[in-house]
Amino acid sequence: MVAGAPRSKGDAKLRPVVENVGVLADFKKFILRGNMLDLAVAVVVGVAFTAVITALVRDLITPLIGAIGGSRDFSSLTFTIHHSTFRYGDFLNYLISFVVVVTAIFFLVVMPVNALVERARQKPPGDPTTKRCPECLSEIPLEARRCAFCTSELS
């Protein structure tokens, strides 16, 4: 028998399966990490949010602008220069969608997070453990009956 050679045909078939189990376990650990799941959820929510905003722009905002300006569908707006057609209407639809998405993210995500961070920065004042001596204005313990600095009696 040669060193390092498989002992039987069954051993040679089992070795890749065992190695694949290790790879699958590593992949499972990687995919189930908290930040990876958070990212996946954020992507799915972002896609759904973008679909809602696109529908809002297409079905509500664009017709409102069209009622004022005269055209209900911006995607058909074009102009031609030297036989080249520029479709700026579709760009306007995407631009309006972008502005609405950014505005919604700012008001629904950025402002609340900034408020939470600001609130966390402002620590409530702790219970005072010292007071000022009325005579010398030194910091002394609350329970003190006489100032350690000027020896005046405290009430």
| Lowest mean pLDDT across 34-38, 106-110, 119-123 | 34-38
pTM of the model: 0.47
Structurally, at CATH architecture level, domain 17-121 sits in: Orthogonal Bundle (1.10)
Q: Where are the domains of the chain?
A: 17-121
pLDDT in tens, 20-37: 677 888 877 777 776 777
Spell out the residues 6+ positions from residue 149 whose beta carbon is closer than 8 angstroms to its own: 133, 136, 138, 140
Block residue for tokens 């040679």: 12
**Contact indicator for 147, 140 with CB cutoff of 8 Å:** yes
Mean pLDDT across 104-120: 86
- DSSP 3-state assignment of 138? coil
Q: From residue 129, how far is each of 110, 141, 142, 144 by CA, in Å?
A: 38, 6, 6, 11
pLDDT in tens, 76-88: 888 899 999 888 8
Q: What CA–CA distance (Å, rounded) separates 20 from 13?
A: 12
